[in-house]
Structure 1
Amino acid sequence: MCRVGLAFDVAGAGSLSELVALTGTADSVVTIADFAARQLGVRLSSGELGGEPNGHHGLAAAAALFEEGRFRLPVQEVFALTQAARAHALAARRPRRGKIALAVPQTPTTAE
């Protein structure tokens, strides 16, 4: 089994016990989505931090870690927006390794 140093759960899909096993300790796992975390000794991060009650502080921290190359998000497959139903069907199948993403085309904005 691959050893992982830290784990951050954003899915809340009941994978905390596996993340604890991968890291070796509940102290190395944080979730923002699984409200059964305390039963496994995992920290549930919610509420106000840095004056932001909605958790947006986590987005800035995750973006900074990503820019530093310290946060990776595995992507299994990217679908065109027109293939959203196919992407949803794949996302529902288990096991899944990585995220399923939709490529949304940008529309030009006009200056007013």
Structure 2
Amino acid sequence: MTSHKQVVYQSQLDHKSKLLLRRRTRKRFNPRIFIDRTIETTAIVSLLITGFAGVGATGCWGMEIATSSQYWQHQKNICLGGMLVSFSAFLGSALIGASFSIRQDKF
């Protein structure tokens, strides 16, 4: 009976030491990784927004032709402007990411 208690006590100690080990091996904040991930996320999101704005502009263009309404022309122009802004954000983030990778000799 006492050996069983000793085994349980030993396993609890092992479990606690593993928890202590996890706390000691915590990763530190690396600003370079953060910047790389931010640039990558910006590029992906800007491409997605460009695609969705393009679909919206195409739909508004179709509605403009079908109804001959000024409203759809304004909506189309808004979508095209959004496409321009988001595509330029993609190009800017790609340029910044490329300059960082050249500086870090990853290119």
**If the TM-score is normalised by the length of the shorter chain, which range does it land in?**
under 0.3
Bigger fraction of residues in strand:
1
Bigger fraction of residues in helix:
2
Relative to the length of structure 2, the TM-score reads 0.22
